[in-house]
Structure 1
């Protein structure tokens, strides 16, 4: 998996015209240091997400039920942004949701990682 980074605030004279390529582990460390990611990856296809779950010996419906949801509820995360569902699926696959849905987690203009949180329940 490769990522491209741009460094803001530095003179373009100091940088080469070619993008710098890093692997996933290096990329996460660079993000922590303030570098911005310009994602060149596309979102996983829904069939790839389902296949990844099947490789782990489960189904999307089973993961949904284990999370206390209806068996078809997590399918919503495959077709539309839903942070709670995305995190449930990603946690089961032991990866960050931005690995599965980069378009939902990186700002397309700046390349910065967006902070998408699950809303906390309110007691009314």
Structure 2
């Protein structure tokens, strides 16, 4: 499927890549959620919407930095913040 170094830019492919990389390490979003005492849905939502805390957890499990997996969500190494008025 995908080599570990080939992180797809397409969002749908990226979500599949993340799940696949977790699977080949014997992990899943559900197992990460249990490990961090949260719901699987919280981690699953991170695949669709920015969440720096959970991006870090997923990236750490993949031995990556969040900026490597989601460069579009970061600027100068820091999470881009959505301004809510």
TM-score range, shorter chain: 0.7 to 0.9
Equivalent of 2:67, from 82, 89, 98?
98
Structure 2: stretches of 5+ with no match in the other structure: 1-7, 80-85
TM-score (norm 1): 0.51
Q: What CA deviation, in whole Å up to 9, does each residue of 1:29-80 have, x standing for no partner?
A: xxxxxxxxxxxx8366101110010011111111111011012210011000
Provide the rounded CA distance (Å) in 2 between the counterparts of 1:71 and 1:83.
16
Counterpart Cα distance in 2 of 1:71 and 1:115: 25
2:29 to 47, 57, 60: 60
Q: Which has the higher helix share?
A: 2
TM-score by length of 2: 0.73
2:77 to 96, 108, 114: 114
User: How many residues align structurally?
Assistant: 70
Q: Considering only aligned residues, what root-mean-square deviation do their CA atoms show, in Å?
A: 1.7
Which sections of structure 1, spanning at least 5 residues, go unmatched?
A: 1-40, 107-112, 117-124
Q: Which runs of at least 4 in structure 1 moved beyond 6 Å after TM superposition?
A: none
Say which structure, 1 or 2, has more relative contact order (CA 8 Å, 6+ apart).
1
The answer as to 2:16 corresponding to 1:47 is yes
